[in-house]
Structures are given as C-alpha cells and as structure tokens.
Structure 1
Amino acid sequence: MTTTAPRPSATLETDLRNQLSNLQGLLMLSMLMTQSGDGEKILHLAETSVPSFGRCHLVGTMIDRHWMPAHSAELSPQQQIEVGVLASSLPPGGGELDIPGHTWAKALPLRSLKSHVGFLVVGAREHLPSGSEQFLFQVLAQQTGIALVNAQLHASERSTAAQLREANETLAETVRVLERTTDIHVRFTRVAAANEGQDGIARALYELTGFPVAVEDRYGNLRAWAGPDRPDPYPKDPGARREQMLRRAMKEGRPIREGGRLVAIANPASDVIGVLALIDPGSQAGDQETIAMEHGATVLAMELAKLRSLAETELRLRRDLVDELLAGTDETSALARAQALGHDLERPHRVAVIEGNGRVHDANAFFMAVRRVARQLRAGSLMVARGETVVLLSDCEVAWEKFRDQVLTDLGGGRCRIGVGDFCQRPADFPRSYHEAQLALRVQRTVKASDRATTYADLGVYRILAEAEDPDTVDRFVQRWLGRLLEYDAQKGAELVHTLSRYLECGGSYEATANTLAVHRSTLKYRLQRIREISGLDIGDPDIAFNLQLATRGWETVRALKA
C-alpha cells in the first residue's frame, strides 16, 4: 500500500492546531484555578496538568518557604529535604536545580502583585523540554501564583464578609479592587480565546485603563495602538537606551516606569521580546493599571509564542523546498509545494549566494540580517543558511550592491560579498544557477578582490574559461605561459604569479599594483624583475602581456573551479 506524505499545508495546520490546543488548555486551566478558590485544589490541578504540556512532572511546590513534594516526585525523605533547601536558597526569579534522577529541573516563580509567593518546581527524568514547553510551564506557574493569591483573598473575604458589610469606604474599595481584578482577568481571557492578536490586546488594555496603549517589538517599532493621539511618525529611542530599558524591565520582572510611560515586557523566548506600553505622562496609573498591564503582558507573550511557532514552521517548509531545488527535484512536486507556500516558481529566478559575518561571528545573526534586507528590498522569501553563507532564490531584479550595503548596515559592520547566478526559467535550472553563483564567489576569493556583488554574467573571460568544453586546454595554456613561475612559487613559497596577475590587472601601473598588494614599490620592482628572469619573457611587450593576462585569469579560474 502506498502512503501519501502529508502536504506542507497539512503539516502547518497540525502545528497550529497543537499550539492552539495548548494555549486553550492553559486558559481553561487558569479559569478552573481561579474559580476553585481552594489552594490545595489549585496545586492539585497544577500537578496533574504538568505532563499534558510536556514530558515532565511536578517535583513539588515552595510556598512561603514551606516545601511540599508532589506525589509523583518519587523522592526519598532525605532527597525531599535537600530539594527543599535548594529551592529556599534561590532568588525570586527562580532557576535550574540539580535533582537526583532528573536530566532537567527548574524552579518557576509563583508571583503575586507585590510579593514573591514561592516556586513551582518542574522536572524531567529523561528528556530536555523544548523552548515552547518551558514557556508553557512558565505561564502555568504564573497562573497558579495568581490563582493562589486570589484563593487567599477570597478566603479572607469570606471570613470577614459580615465585617465588610459594616466597614468604611476603605474596605469597600478593597472589594471593588478584587472585582476589578476579576474583570481584568476575564477580559484578557476572552482576547486570548478569540485570537484577537496584538490589536485586541492593545484595545482591551485601553478599554480597561483609559490610557492610550502601544504594542512594540524589541527595537521600538510600533505593532499595535489603541486610544487617541497616535504619534506620526512613531518615535523610537536610540538602540543603546532601548536595550538598557529592556534589561531593566526584565530584571524587575514587573511593569516599570520609563519616561512618561508604564512599560511591561513579554518575553516568551530568549530571542523574542514584545513591549506593552501604557502612555501615562502624568504618572497617574496605579495598582489596578499595573495588574492590567501584567495580565496584558502574559497574553502578549502567548501571542508572540504563537506567531513565532507559525514563522518557524513556514521557514522550515521554505528551507526544505530551497534545499530540494538546489539539489535538483521533480518539477511537478516543486511547483505544487511552492504554490502551497504562496510562491510562484514559474517566474524567472536567479540564485544568489551571500557570504559574510558581522563584527561578532554569529551565523544566525548574519542569516537574520540577510532575511530582513531581502524583505525590505522584496528580493525574495525562499532562502536557506549553508555554513557561513545564505542562499537566496530571488524572483525579481535586485540592485545587489545596494543589497550588500544594507546587510552591512543591518549588521553594524563586518564583511559581505555576493555571487549571483544566471536566470532560471524552470525548477530544473536552479542547480546550474547555484553553481554559477558559487563560481562567482570563488573567483572573488581566488583573485583576492575586495568584497562586492559579482554576477556570473559579468565574469567576462572568467566565464568563457569556466565554460570551456575541454578544461585541459586551459591547463595547457596556463602551463605554456606560467609554468616556470608556478614551479618557482611552489618551490620557494613565493607569490610571483599572483604579483604578475595584479600588475597586469592594474594596467601596468606600479603605484596601483603596489597599493593592491600592500607592498613597497621597490619590493614590486624586485618581483617583476624576478618574473622577467625566471619566465624569460618581456612583460612589457603588448602581445606577451595579453597572453600572460589571459593565462593568469585562466589560472585563477582553474583554482576557483577546483575549490
């Protein structure tokens, strides 16, 4: 029986369904915890729900410095005491723990509005949980902490109900605060359940607080706004000041004041940050606005995690398609997969290979910079990282030098060079264009040219030599004119052939050649004299110089092809 592989769109749908199911499960669990009003039941719900969000279990809880091991922990009495001591020594932000029989364990903070309640300790015996699973556990801990605090408040409210009826306005205000907190929780629960996105989060926070609200990305770019007086253009802080604010907000772990704004951070993954800002130049926002901000930041973190999952799934599907096209694949299958991704492969494309790095050698940062520039210039969306290069399938005319300059600007400096192949009219042409783009890059390296964008069509004589039907003909021609110099270089470790190549490429200019080689004019003159003596050729003769230049280009082409 033949089994049909799932289409990319089906895989994407499955990933989205699983992500949505986890988020909806957390929302339902949060509502059950909030409604229960019983601390033991809340902890029981937390313990039994941990395995449903990953292959982990609850080790125990530390509440008000009192350690309570979970039933599923399977720890000896001595081990329980040791884990309790470890958890009690952690800072409020929690951290990883070394627990016998576990490959991973972490204390996740249980927070109330103004204090640290304790920790929810989650562990795994065999598997290291993924980033998305760890995020779900963090949200679970946060919701458990809120539910425990609410349970304590509700218990206190029930025990003093008779007194509250006779209390003064201060106690009445406490009741209103509790009701307001519940309203906030219900409102944001609806936003998350209805998938209202970042616009819905901003709108809900504005309606709850009455203050204008902005949702920003890590760099200060506006993603959503709710309320009056939206600034145009939207202001952005300098990069250094922005990073300082983000570090301070993440260290505090709660909304902070920054200028005329109240700022909360949503950080579902190490490289994903969203900012929720309440515009409050008069510093009028109080505890209730802070509570609303904390709830909003939690829902924003869930939204960013969902968007990240979508982006990673689509990127993986695009990467797989690019790999198959470069290696050569069935045309019908490639067209169908591209169509499912919303990409028209029947348009002319060309392959570009982008090579380089920023001031700090980080392959992922370089890939993300190329990806951002490709989006800005609409150069193409199909790309893949290969070693220290990024391969881009471009379906439009691109000013490649401008592309290169913008990558360097995005990186803040570094190096970048680009090789571009000829056009592909059909999917079967991609391997050829990829080979041409690689050759254009290799020729740059071989001739030790300065970084630039080189298209295969502009290689000139290098292209003719590379496409020679009989490569041995090129080899023989090179040996005829450069054989003695090549032999001398091999024996002495010299660079006479390279010196001759640069001299001829510079049109016989001593000054230009010396600058290109970064040597003194007297050193250059000595080398040229040795070239004349060893080769027995008059490099000043136009015909001889022409053949020597053709031979040096042939030598460089052969080296590039062999590389």
Structure 2
Amino acid sequence: MGPTDSGPDGTTTGRDGSGPDAGTDEGGLLSYRLRRERRLSSLYATARSLAALGEVDEVLTSIVRHAHELIGSDIAYLSLLDAEGNLTLRASAGTISAEFSSARMPPGIGLGGRVIRSGAPFWVSNYGESDVVRHNSAFDLLVPNEGLTALLGVPLLVGDRAVGVLFAADRSERPFQQDEVALLSAFADHAAIALNNARLYEESRESLQRLREAYRTIEEQVASVERAAAVHEALTHVVLTGGGPGDIARLLVEHLRGAVTVLDRDDRVVAARVCDGPPAATAREPARELLEQARRTGRCASAPDGDGAVCSVAVVHAGGSHLGSLSLTRSAAPGSADVRMLERSAQIMGLLILMRDARVEAEERVRGELLVELLSRPALHPAQRDRALARGVDVDRLDVLVVADCPGKPTSDVVRQLNALSPEWSGLAGEYLGRATMLLRADDAEEAASALHRRLRRALGVPVLVAADRVDGREWARSFGLTWRCVEVMRSLGATDRGSATVQYAMYAIVFDPKRAHDLDRFLAECLGPLLEYDRRRSTALVATTAAYFAQGGNLSRTARFLHVHMNTLLKRLDRVGVLLGDGWRSPDRALRLHLAVRLHQLRGALDGEDDG
C-alpha cells in the first residue's frame, strides 16, 4: 500500500474509525471480533458457493457480487489479463458505465498494473490525486464519470502467476482497513481457484466436444471408405506399385466414366483418359475460374462447361503447397460419393507426388553431400567412391567445376535445377558455401557453361550467370574459389545473363586467383601507390578521378559531369595526379598500365566489398 495514501500517522483505519486496535474497552473488542467472525463466516460460505459453479461467466459474476457484499464497497469489479497483457473488465457489481466497462488498461499502468507487477494488494484513498501509480489519460477521463475515488485492488493468483485483479471501490475518499484488505485477499484466493477450475471445466468440455465431432467425422469417413472399398483398394495398389497420374486417371474413368485430366503444379497436362462408352466426354483442361475456386476452398468444385457437360475439379495439395489438380468432365453432375472419390484420388495423387519429391530430395541430398566432401576433403573413402559410382558418377573424371548465380531466385531453386541436369553430365550438384555448384565431366568448359546457362535460363525464367573452370587434377576447392570470384568479376563488369569459362576472363585472373594476390598487390603498388597513399592520408578521390577519366575516354567535359564536379576541380585533381605520378602518366604505355591498374583495383574492391573511391 502506498505510504502517501495512508493516514497521517501511518496507520490504516476503517470507515467508522474501528480496527484491530480501535477501542480500549472490552465491548469494542468484542464488537470487532463478532464483526470479524461474521465476515469470515461469509467468506467461507461464498467460497463454497463459488466451488459449486461451472461456467466461467457465471463464476466471474458471482465473484464480484460476493466481493461487493463482503466488503460493503460502493462498487466491485474484476479485470482479467488478455493475451496482450491488458487488463480488461469482465464483471462488475454496482453501477459501471458502458464506457468504463469497455476500457482496457495497458500493461503496468494504473493501480491494477501495480498489483499485477507486485503480486500483492494495493490501495489508494483518492485515485485521481494519487501520484504513486502510473496514470492513463484515457482511463482517468472515465474515473470522474463513474465517481470512483478510493480504490483497492488484490491479485487473482493461480500458483505464482497473477491472472487478474479484483477491485473494491468507493465514491468517497477513505483508507482501507487491514482486515478489509486481508478479507478481500482471502476471498480473491478462493475466487482464483474457482475461476481456474471453471476454465479447466470449460476447456475439458470443449475438448470433449471436439472429440465427439472427431469421432463423428471418423464414423462418416469409415462409412465412406466402406462404400468405396474397391476404389480405395485400387488406389492403394497404385501407391504400393509406384504408379503415376495416368494410373489414377484410368481408375477414375473406370468407376466414374466421363473424361479425367490431371494437371501438375504449373497447370500443365500430365495425363488424360476418356472412357470408351457413354456417357463419354472430351478430356480438356478445366476453366480457370473453376480451378481457382477449388484452390480457394480446398474442396471439389463443379460447374457446367458450356457444352452441356459438367466439370468437377479437386485440387492436389499438401502442407499448404499446391501440387496439381484432377478434373472430371461428364454429362451428369457428380453425386456426393463421386465427389468423395475424386477428392480421395487427389489425396492419393498428393501422396504419390510427396513420395516422388522425397525420393528426389534424398537423392539431391546425397549428391550434395558427396559434392561437399569432394570440395572439402579430396581424399575420398572407398565407401564414398562407391556411393558416387552407384549414381553413375566417376569422381576421377570430374574435370569441370561450375558455379551459377541468380539473384532473382533462392540458391536452393538453382541447386534443384542443377541436380536435375547433373545425371546428363555424370556429375554432382549441391550448395557449397552458399553457392549453387556443380562438378561434371565435359570436354570443353566453355561449351558446358553455355549449355548450362541456356538450360538454367529457360527453367528459372530470369537472368543467371554461369562460370565454369577446368579442374587441375583434384584441386576442386581451388577451382571453386576461382569460379565464384570470376562470377563476381563478371557481374562487376556489367554481365548479368551469360555463361562463360574462367579462361575467357584470363586478363582479370590476377584479381580472382588467390595465388596471385601478391602479384596484384605489387602491380597496384607500382602503378597506383602514390595515389592510394595520397587518398588514404588526405581522404581525397584521386584514384576514383583517374578511373573516371579513363572510363570517359579522356574527355574532360564528360569526366567532370560524371563526377559531378566543376571543370576547375577536375583539372586540379588531374594536375595533382601528374605531380604524384609524373608528367608522362598520360603517354600510351603508361596510360594503358594505369588504366588496367585502376580497373583491377575497382574489381578487387567489388570482390572484397570495399569502396574503391
């Protein structure tokens, strides 16, 4: 309880001035004991009545009604914590306005927030003037309308966790006695238990209802399975024998007649069957609107197709992913049993697709693991070599390494496409150090890069960069480093959609070959050393200015516009370059070396993620 809201002598007194220490005569003490016994008796009686209740709302209403009677306050109300931690009023006794009832107190605010935070009772004799609680402006506007002045709150504790607050309030200023606080706290303990029991009872009842509904659903499904036992057995046989879309389409045509069309996840026809006798129909793709309706609802959708026939569509999905669809077209509308058969066939189709995808993913995972082992540990164990041979891969003949980069698609999508292509090249594909990588056999690295680029570009539908490197011996890891850095050089040079061998970028190999890093440092130091040192010490941009000058073909006007500087500024910078490098820096031989040096410096900065300016 806040010391600023206590009586002037630091004690707590009742409304009539009585308390545990009130009165020195024996009659006053006896009156106090009788009043305490009545309150305790009322507390036990109300606790027993609460224990007999089952509905949560009924328990809440009973709690505030009994609290109102026990304490004798003008108003009693109860607020519970919601999922966001707000205190929301759930029940009240006394006059509570509609605006007050709909108010929510944010976490940690007001007297209730303090009670929740401390897990202990707290009261103020005048809420509006109290400065020991955090006020909420919206709530404070409602307090005068309701006339709330003195306010006592006690926590509703379930174990050590506060789930709400029980309030007693008066419309006149006054302190709360210690026995009032203790009585309301004791009652709140009983009320919390009753409320928790009511919640558990309600949850149990809802769980029982769900179980009953699930049981009814199971009964309906069992009856449906029994009615379609023959189809179910046939579909099971398709699964066990590794059948495909054509087998399912054939079974549906045999039992439902008409025409059946199977679409894949990209809405391409993968199977179509038509019955021999009437009622026959032509196999066709379902209308786009009907297909979208089936996808949206997840259930079979039917509609006339305009030629006197009825088209029914069931989508194939699993785990929220669209995998395809089955459509039935015939003269008669499908009955409920036919709809269930079509939907069950779609489920089986989804199972077949998942099984196929699982096999493909397992194979991709094995191939990816083998690729990582080759790049990280060239000395293979005989068992690993056997695993590769079982997949048609002779690791001793893997002589080309490819890295593909496609910013418009996740790396996993690029790897999936490389895995699909790897058997054609007797190779392995996977993700290595975040890059889509492939090891393969090829006579010409340039042709392999071009062919893979065309295939990936067509499959992914977006620009892709592909670089290939001829592996020297078993130096796969070195080739990987060269290849991915070559891809970065290609992108820095403006290429966004092409396939090439690293040899085509031989003049830039000094940038992306780690073994030549020392040569690059020496070359840059010889050509650009004074400019680099000057830029470093003075925070200038002489190297960037020189690069722009060469990029603009030595044209001063274009260079100034490119750099967004005045012509005089450009001339001063170029004069400084001449001072640092010598007057002959623009001669053909020196200009060629200097131009190459600034370009290599820029490329290395792009590879290393540095600013070359």
Deviation per CA, 1:137-172: give whole Å up to 9, x if none. Answer: xxxx98x35444459xxxxxxxxxxxxxxxxxxxxx
Give the 3 Å change call, closer, same or farther, for CA 506–534 of structure 1 in structure 2.
closer
Q: Matches of 1:190 and 1:308 in 2, distance apart?
A: 19
Give the 3 Å change call, closer, same or farther, for CA 425–530 of structure 1 in structure 2.
closer
Match of 2:314 among 260, 264, 282: 264
Uncovered stretches (5+) of structure 1, i.e. residues with no partner: 1-75, 89-106, 111-116, 121-140, 152-177
Whichever residue aligns with residue 372 of structure 1, its letter is Q
Give the 3 Å change call, closer, same or farther, for CA 379–501 of structure 1 in structure 2.
farther
Deviation per CA, 1:440-468: give whole Å up to 9, x if none. Answer: 124346x5534244532112222256669
How far the C-alpha of 1:519 sits from its partner, in A, is 2.7
Where in structure 2 are the equivalents of 1:258-407 lying within 5 Å? 260=305, 261-271=311-321, 273-280=323-330, 282=331, 284-331=333-380, 333=382, 334-358=384-408, 363=410, 366-369=411-414, 371-372=416-417, 375=420, 382-386=428-432, 389-396=435-442, 398=447, 400=449, 403-404=452-453, 407=456
Residue 44 of structure 1: aligned partner: none
Q: Matches of 1:228 and 1:330 in 2, distance apart?
A: 59
Residue 474 of structure 1: aligned partner: 520
Q: Secondary structure at the match of 2:395?
A: coil
The answer to whether the aligner puts 1:200 opposite 2:321 as a matched pair is: no
Whichever residue aligns with residue 548 of structure 1, its letter is L
Q: Secondary structure at the match of 1:219?
A: coil
Q: Matches of 1:448 and 1:524 in 2, distance apart?
A: 28
Whichever residue aligns with residue 530 of structure 1, its letter is R
Q: Matches of 2:265 and 2:595 in 1, distance apart?
A: 53
Q: Matches of 1:235 and 1:491 in 2, distance apart?
A: 74
Match of 1:484 among 530, 533, 540: 530
Deviation per CA, 1:236-261: give whole Å up to 9, x if none. Answer: 79xxx96x766532442321136743
Match of 1:217 among 264, 269, 276: 264
Give the 3 Å change call, closer, same or farther, for CA 148–285 of structure 1 in structure 2.
closer
Residue 576 of structure 2: aligned partner: 533
Asked if the contact 1:272/1:304 (under 8 Å) is kept, the reply is no
Q: Secondary structure at the match of 1:449?
A: coil
Q: Matches of 1:461 and 1:345 in 2, distance apart?
A: 31
Q: Matches of 2:509 and 2:267 in 1, distance apart?
A: 46
**Which has the bigger relative contact order, CA under 8 A and spacing at least 6?**
1
Q: Matches of 1:518 and 1:404 in 2, distance apart?
A: 38
Asked if the contact 1:482/1:535 (under 8 Å) is kept, the reply is no
Q: Matches of 2:320 and 2:535 in 1, distance apart?
A: 52
The answer to whether the aligner puts 1:435 opposite 2:481 as a matched pair is: yes
Residues paired across the two proteins, number: 394
Give the 3 Å change call, closer, same or farther, for CA 539–259 of structure 1 in structure 2.
farther
Q: Matches of 2:284 and 2:575 in 1, distance apart?
A: 65
Q: Matches of 1:278 and 1:82 in 2, distance apart?
A: 43
Q: Secondary structure at the match of 2:213?
A: strand
Uncovered stretches (5+) of structure 2, i.e. residues with no partner: 1-196, 277-282, 306-310
Asked if the contact 2:418/2:429 (under 8 Å) is kept, the reply is no
Q: Matches of 2:266 and 2:476 in 1, distance apart?
A: 36
Deviates more, 1:190-199 or 1:521-530: 521-530
Asked if the contact 1:214/1:226 (under 8 Å) is kept, the reply is yes
Q: Matches of 1:212 and 1:313 in 2, distance apart?
A: 35
Q: Secondary structure at the match of 2:262?
A: strand
Deviation per CA, 1:343-369: give whole Å up to 9, x if none. Answer: 3434444222222322xxx63xx4325
Q: Matches of 1:248 and 1:544 in 2, distance apart?
A: 71
Q: Matches of 1:87 and 1:457 in 2, distance apart?
A: 72
Deviation per CA, 1:409-440: give whole Å up to 9, x if none. Answer: 65555x643333x22365x2311211110221
Question: What TM-score does the superposition give when structure 2 sets the normalisation length?
Answer: 0.54
Q: Matches of 1:468 and 1:316 in 2, distance apart?
A: 30
Residue 119 of structure 1: aligned partner: 214
Whichever residue aligns with residue 298 of structure 2, its letter is G
How far the C-alpha of 1:555 sits from its partner, in A, is 3.0
Q: Secondary structure at the match of 1:545?
A: helix
Whichever residue aligns with residue 313 of structure 1, its letter is A
Asked if the contact 2:398/2:439 (under 8 Å) is kept, the reply is no
Give the 3 Å change call, closer, same or farther, for CA 483–410 of structure 1 in structure 2.
same
Give the 3 Å change call, closer, same or farther, for CA 456–535 of structure 1 in structure 2.
farther
Give the 3 Å change call, closer, same or farther, for CA 189–405 of structure 1 in structure 2.
closer
